[in-house]
Structure 1
Amino acid sequence: MRVERITRYPVKGLSPEVMEEVALTAGQGLPEDRRFAFAHADAPFDPAAPTWLQKRHFACLMAHARVARIRSAWDSAAGLLALRADGMAPLDAALGTEAGRAAAAAWITDFMGEEARGPLRLAEAPGHAFTDIAAKAVSIIGLNSVKALEEKVGMALDPLRFRANVLVSGGLPFAEFGWIGKEILLGGTRLRVFKRTQRCAATEVNPATAERDARPQRWLREHFGHMDMGIYAEVLEGGRVALGDALEPVQAELLG
């Protein structure tokens, strides 16, 4: 199998950043993946004592399809978050300043309108990631798994609906489910697969139109008997992963 796309999402729920390569570190996910989130006013997130919270506490596609209308870009070197959406004044917010963080939060609150549960705030804490599971991991999907679902329902499904970190080609549909509890080699790294990725209502949202125009959860259950697409893997040995790199399950004999 071969790496076809590497993606991270600097702000939970917002636009992807497509990468040609990434350096992974043992015990961590992709650097700066889900580093920020816009938390609803009633979200019990404490940056001084960060803990994992369910996605409903944040602006996210599962609850707010309109979020897909936002075009965002994160410049980590400059510390600038660009936010764009039709009908909204463009904003380039310096997230290293209180004024910039407040401006970004006010922009999102205005954009969310009645869907905002009070003024949203920009959430961040050193070392914390606003991922869908508490464990720090890399999410991987086989493109042939997506293709198998497309063929069952007769509809093209942009893999971006599933917001994985790594998309790979080759292999049988859902072959990745057979790696649970096993190790894989991904480029110059070694990972342990520990969990299938159960899909949520975020996958209903078309990333290009912000419309709920598909039912991947229901279709997966109807045609395959589960609601899973992709896997989570823990990084055991860090290193570089680049487009075109191989993904290979580690043979049992190599594990000793």
Structure 2
Amino acid sequence: MRVERITRYPVKGLTGELMDVVDIAAGDGLPHDRRFAFAQGDSPFDPAAPAWMQKRHFACLMANAGIAAIRSAYDPVTGMLLLMAPGFPHLAVDLALPGDRDRAAAWMTAYLGPEARGSLRLAEAPGHAFTDIAAKAVSIIGLSSVKALSEKVGMELDPVRFRANILFSGAAPFAELGWVGREFLVGGTRMKIFKRTQRCPATEVNPETAERDAKPQKWLRDHYGHADMGVYAEVLEGGRIAVGDAMEPVQAELLG
């Protein structure tokens, strides 16, 4: 099996950024993945006492399909965030500056309008990631799984809908769902798969058009009896992963 794509999502719900290579520490996810989120106006998130919260407390594709039309880019070296959307002025802000963070939050509040549920805040807390599960993990999906579902429903589904950190090739469709509890060498890392990824209505949103034009959650249940696409893995031993690296079970018989 082969690593085909590596993606991080610096701001929850916004644009993914492709990476050729990444260094991942044990017990962590991809650096800067879901580092920031736009907290809804009524969100109780407290950066001084960060705790995992459900995605509904933040701008997210599940509730705010329109944010798929935003194009964002984050540079962790300079701390600059770029936000672009149709009909809105481009915004470039330095996230090290409180005033610029407020400008980013105001831009997103204006973009969401009534969906903002008040004035949004750009949320961040050291060591905290605004992921869909509380555990630090890397999300992994086999490209053959996405292709199989696409063929079942007669519609090509962009893997970006499922917002995985790692897309891989070389396994049977949905094989990864049977790997829970097993360990894999992924590039220079060692990972343990610990949970299947249950999909939510966020996958309905077309990442190019921002329209809800598909029902992956329903289609998975209709055709496979579950709503799972992909798995979460814990990084047991850190290291470097690059596009093209091998992804193999620690023991060959684990694939049986």
Q: What is the alpha-carbon root mean square deviation over aligned residues?
A: 1.1
Task: Give the conservation status (yes or no) of the 8 Å contact 1:45–1:53.
Answer: yes
Q: Which residue does 1:163 correspond to in 2?
A: 163
Q: Which residue does 2:45 correspond to in 1?
A: 45
Residue identity in the other structure for 1:218: K
TM score, norm. by length of structure 1: 0.98
Task: Give the conservation status (yes or no) of the 8 Å contact 1:179–1:249.
Answer: no
Alignment of 1:89-104 (within 5 A): 89-104=89-104
- Distance, in Å, in 1 between the alignment partners of 2:137 and 2:115 is 30
Q: Which residue does 2:227 correspond to in 1?
A: 227
- Distance, in Å, in 2 between the alignment partners of 1:53 and 1:19 is 27
Residue identity in the other structure for 2:200: C
- Distance, in Å, in 2 between the alignment partners of 1:114 and 1:32 is 29
TM score, norm. by length of structure 2: 0.98
- Consecutive unaligned residues of structure 2, counting only runs of 5 or more, are none
How far residue 253 of structure 1 moved from its aligned partner, in angstroms, is: 8.3
Q: 1:62 and 2:66 equivalent?
A: no
How far residue 114 of structure 1 moved from its aligned partner, in angstroms, is: 1.3
How far residue 37 of structure 1 moved from its aligned partner, in angstroms, is: 0.1
Q: Which residue does 1:85 correspond to in 2?
A: 85
Q: Give the % identical residues.
A: 71
Change (3 A) 1:147 1:238: same
Corresponding residue SS for 1:208: coil
- Consecutive unaligned residues of structure 1, counting only runs of 5 or more, are none
Corresponding residue SS for 1:90: strand
Structure 1, residues 38-90: CA drift from partner, whole Å, max 9, x if none? Answer: 00111111111100000000000000000001000001111110000011111
- Distance, in Å, in 2 between the alignment partners of 1:68 and 1:227 is 22
Q: Which residue does 2:74 correspond to in 1?
A: 74
Task: Give the conservation status (yes or no) of the 8 Å contact 1:95–1:101.
Answer: yes
Q: Which residue does 1:11 correspond to in 2?
A: 11
Stretches of 4+ aligned residues off by more than 3 angstroms: none
- Distance, in Å, in 2 between the alignment partners of 1:177 and 1:87 is 41
Alignment of 1:1-256 (within 5 A): 1-251=1-251
Aligned residues: 254
Residue identity in the other structure for 1:192: K
Structure 1, residues 99-120: CA drift from partner, whole Å, max 9, x if none? Answer: 1100000000000011110000
Corresponding residue SS for 1:89: strand
- Distance, in Å, in 2 between the alignment partners of 1:252 and 1:6 is 24
Corresponding residue SS for 2:73: strand
Residue identity in the other structure for 1:158: D
- Distance, in Å, in 1 between the alignment partners of 2:89 and 2:177 is 44
